[in-house]
Homo-oligomer: A and B are copies of this chain.
């Protein structure tokens, strides 16, 4: 990640304001407030905490940070188990109030560790889709090296159209440029088989359309098919897919990594000799596990709205919240919303695109 920190404890007046949902997440509000204080003190970010004032104020006092972060009151919260429908009926939830701050121009992005479904639904309704964007997409970062790979859509749209996948490519490219400093992001499409023409109807049509529009404007470095086993190989900077496939693939990766660790733990402690050896590695293995967990599932980004929502893992502790705030800051500072607008506007003017839309296939 590029360094966004001005390196001091004093927030810069030019820095965008991030609205942090203090009430969402398994460890809210205490870990959220702790993470926010860290983000302010260690990275000089400008934050607002949104939620129930008395609770937040007392936690800030505990951290001796009563004057460092302003609070905006919200009566209500989204419950972690609440479905999308229920959640966007709550106009006074902390997420809804955070969105209001963005709409009013008082904040540029929001961070929440609340339920993904609830945050996606609330911010989609309250921030609205950017003009020209067919659908917002949820982007997740895979722990590839040296540069992380962004996968989208990770679950916002279970049923998608080929044109949406083309836009997702541009949303993802804007993310890679802004947050990972990649000048010309390489984009692949998740499908089955490595040759062109492989996949289901959706992937085949989307790949055709990506090929046809890659020359731009805006230019896109489209690298063709990516198979499941190459998701973590770091072959491209952005992988596009529909929200159903993306969510299944991400969770399969998550489950398989967990499974491999459990099996390896079993193998390493299977006999006394290897048990002795296992003690020698406890630390590197724990560090590795943390890296995989936090990097791959620490923060999903909802792209394509008039404002950026970073959704931290529900289980986030202070460090995860701090990272989510940093990511939101980087995306907002890099004006990702404007970048997406420029890309989408240019795409929508391309002859191939217009021709396609003219055929009524949208």
A residues at B contact (CB < 8 Å)? 83, 117, 155, 158-159, 190-193, 195, 199-201, 203, 227-233, 241-245, 247-261, 263-264, 266-268, 270-271, 273-274, 276-281, 284-285, 287-288, 292
Secondary structure type dominating chain A contacts: helix
Q: Which residues of B contact A259 (CB under 8 A)?
A: 232-233, 257
Interchain CB contact under 8 A, B268 and A284: yes
**Residue in chain B with minimal CB distance to A288:** B267
Of B253, B255, B258, B277, the residue contacting A278 (CB under 8 A) is B277
> Can you list 12 pairs linking A and B with CB atoms under 8 Å apart?
A117-B193, A158-B200, A200-B242, A227-B248, A228-B252, A228-B255, A229-B251, A229-B258, A232-B256, A248-B248, A261-B264, A263-B292
> A249, B252: Cβ atoms under 8 Å?
yes
When C-beta atoms are compared, the residue in chain B nearest to A233 turns out to be: B255
A141 CB to closest chain B CB (Å) equals 15
Name the B residues within 8 Å of A278 (CB-CB): 277, 281
Task: Please state if B159 and A244 are interface contacts (CB–CB under 8 Å).
Answer: no
Contact among B190, B195, B263, B280 with A248 in the assembled complex (CB-CB below 8 Å): B190
**Complex contact B231–A255 (CB within 8 A):** yes
In the bound complex, CA of A17 to CA of B249 (Å):
39
Q: Which residue in chain B gives the minimum CB-CB distance to A271?
A: B284
Q: Which residues from B are CB-within-8-Å of A227?
A: 248, 251
8 Å CB contact of A249 from B249, B274, B285: B249
Contact A256 B251 (CB under 8 A): no
Instruction: For A199, give the chain B residue with the smallest CB separation.
Output: B158
Q: How far is the CA of A4 from the CA of B63 in the complex (A)?
A: 67
